[in-house]
Structure 1
Amino acid sequence: MSKSISRDTKLCMSLSGRPGNFGTRFHNFLYDALDLDYVYKAFTTKDLPAAIGGIRALGIRGCAVSMPFKEACIPLLDEIATSAAAIESVNTIVNDDGFLRAYNTDYIAVAKLIEQHRVSSDTVLALRGSGGMAKAVACALRDAGFRQGTIVARNEAAGRKLANMCGYAWAPDTQNVQAHLLINVTPIGMEGGPDAERLAFSSEQVEQAMLVFDVVALPAETPLIKLARSKGKPVITGAEVIALQAVEQFVLYTGVRPDDELIARAAAHAGG
């Protein structure tokens, strides 16, 4: 950043179990380009109530929320927007003079990507995962008219709950699941994780798919995405999701919506 930080500079932040650099680079690039007196910093915590209390007490303007805090933070906030309440998952906190409002821009991003990729709502889907981000993706698909699908989750209680919420089936694993839209919303394939080299779906399932969607953003080219590309399948990457949801967060924090060209430059900078 070229400008200096003063006592009037507004701080925005993120809370994640595994902090990355995308949000920091994306937001700070836009603050600098638009000459906004903001700064953005990524954090993690082992004391979520204290962290949320710090946001409130220190006047931190906004906070992005990632795994594993998307659901756990809800009781600590003052108001939950309709979309976040409906899916019981938060990814954005906005602080207005100590009053903390929660939103879910993941939902908005997924809905836009499905529309942009012209995915037919008649497509049968299989979504692997049952956490906060999985809820955002599943509910966005449900609300876009997707009626046939399976939630794949080892946690039967969470998997069935999400499946029932969206009108889908539940399965404990991918073994007998058949679908043409495959979506990974688990840490499988995440850089530095224990399953970084694993596939969320089998090669045979990818072969049968019409579209493969992996929400993992680090790296964007996960083993699943690489396999899908090698088979000539259209893909949606986590990098696309993270950029779109970050734009919506930026607007909530600043009240400013950058143009498409500037957003593309920010995403390229952040992913570089």
Structure 2
Amino acid sequence: MFTVTGTTSTYCVLGNPVAHSMSPLMHNTAFRHLGMDAIYLPFEVDDLPAAVSGLKALNIKGASVTHPFKEAIIELVDEIDDTAKKIGAINTLVFTKGGILGTNTDWVGLVKTIETLLPISDHTFVVLGAGGAARAAVFGIISHGGKAIVANRSEKKGRLLADEFDMPFVSLSKLENVQAACLINATPVGMYPQEDDTPVPTQILTRYKAVVDVIYNPVQTKLLKEAQSQGCMTASGFEMFVHQGIEQFRIWTDTTPPAKEMRDVVYQRLMNK
């Protein structure tokens, strides 16, 4: 049985809400499997600047950053690496004696997930959303030779993202006029507990070969079920979540992550809900 002591290294996830997060289960499983004296905790945050100050004061070793703080956290770190700077969002914090380093592993997870369905190079992708996950998706697609079209409920925010990456923007109401290889939902629409929601009408899904949803809880969102009914290949955010978490663990601990154990424990929990 693992016992927390005064020398136990602490890691955490910052978000609001975080009750649904599987990150504590995944990372704590990895720590226990490797016999590491470390623990990972969920922190629901109302005041982000105060929370970051508190983490520094408490000697936290590393943190995940989730919705809705992936962009706001940029102003609160001491250093941001080139990848996170280009994406414009941070999902991983590393605490050192020199301060806080911000990086991003979301794009790694998403690229690996997309590539289970089709190659990114020379294909066009419609990315729904304009937040941190959408930014990671656009970056990953462009960096691997693909083309992206941004679609978002807020035209202003959507155009800002599209212009920043020199990509076209389309309003959600005009999606029926767009043809692409793959649709990526990078919004929280359809996430637990609002599983009956979906970001787009069923009839437009026939315009895509593949559909990817960044949501991992539930594993099969309404969007993915409807896409499958229309003959689309699909991939769940579950794979993206695990891959980005594996990369986080590697960054924090400089240790080879127990990938199979991390994947299996999250999948089992999601399937047994």
TM-score for both structures, normalised by structure 1: 0.92
Matched, 1:122 2:122: yes
Deviations 1:144-196 (A, max 9, x none): 1113x421112223211211233321122134333231111112111124xx4
Residue identity matched to 2:199: A
Q: Corresponding residue for 1:39?
A: 39
Matched, 1:204 2:234: no
Is 105-114 or 42-51 further displaced after alignment? Answer: 105-114
Q: Corresponding residue for 1:190?
A: 191
Residue identity matched to 1:66: T
Residue identity matched to 1:162: L
Q: What secondary structure, in the 3-state scheme, does the structure 1 residue paired with 2:10 have?
A: strand
Q: Corresponding residue for 1:177?
A: 178
Deviations 1:106-140 (A, max 9, x none): 01111222334332523222111001110001110
Structure 1 stretches lacking a partner, 5+ long: none
CA distance in 2 between counterparts of 1:61 and 1:266 reads: 23
Deviations 1:57-116 (A, max 9, x none): 111011100111011111110110111011110000011136100110001111222334
Check 1:229–1:68 CA distance in 2 against 1; reply closer, same or farther (3 A cut). Answer: same
CA distance in 1 between counterparts of 2:185 and 2:25 reads: 25
Is 11-20 or 106-115 further displaced after alignment? Answer: 106-115
CA distance in 2 between counterparts of 1:124 and 1:42 reads: 36
CA distance in 2 between counterparts of 1:259 and 1:62 reads: 18
CA distance in 2 between counterparts of 1:94 and 1:120 reads: 30
Is 36-45 or 91-100 further displaced after alignment? Answer: 91-100
Report the CA distance between 1:259 and its aligned residue. Answer: 4.5
Whether the aligned pair in 2 keeps the contact of 1:125 and 1:179 (CA below 8 Å) is yes
Report the CA distance between 1:252 and its aligned residue. Answer: 1.4
Residue identity matched to 1:51: A
Where do residues 89-104 of structure 1 align in structure 2 (5 Å cutoff)? 89-97=89-97, 99-104=99-104
Whether the aligned pair in 2 keeps the contact of 1:56 and 1:98 (CA below 8 Å) is no
Q: Corresponding residue for 2:260?
A: 261
Where do residues 156-167 of structure 1 align in structure 2 (5 Å cutoff)? 156-167=155-166
Whether the aligned pair in 2 keeps the contact of 1:178 and 1:205 (CA below 8 Å) is no
Deviations 1:223-261 (A, max 9, x none): 001112233321121111110001111111211112443
Between the two proteins, what is the percent identity of the paired residues? Answer: 31
Number of matched residues?
Answer: 268
CA distance in 2 between counterparts of 1:256 and 1:108 reads: 18
Q: Corresponding residue for 2:82?
A: 82
For the aligned residues, what is the CA RMSD? 1.8
CA distance in 2 between counterparts of 1:14 and 1:175 reads: 37
Q: What secondary structure, in the 3-state scheme, does the structure 1 residue paired with 2:217 have?
A: coil
Q: What secondary structure, in the 3-state scheme, does the structure 2 residue paired with 1:212 have?
A: strand
Q: Corresponding residue for 2:3?
A: 4
Is 54-63 or 166-175 further displaced after alignment? Answer: 166-175
Report the CA distance between 1:267 and its aligned residue. Answer: 3.6
Whether the aligned pair in 1 keeps the contact of 2:62 and 2:252 (CA below 8 Å) is yes
CA distance in 1 between counterparts of 2:181 and 2:204 reads: 8
Whether the aligned pair in 2 keeps the contact of 1:65 and 1:93 (CA below 8 Å) is yes
Q: What secondary structure, in the 3-state scheme, does the structure 2 residue paired with 1:73 have?
A: helix
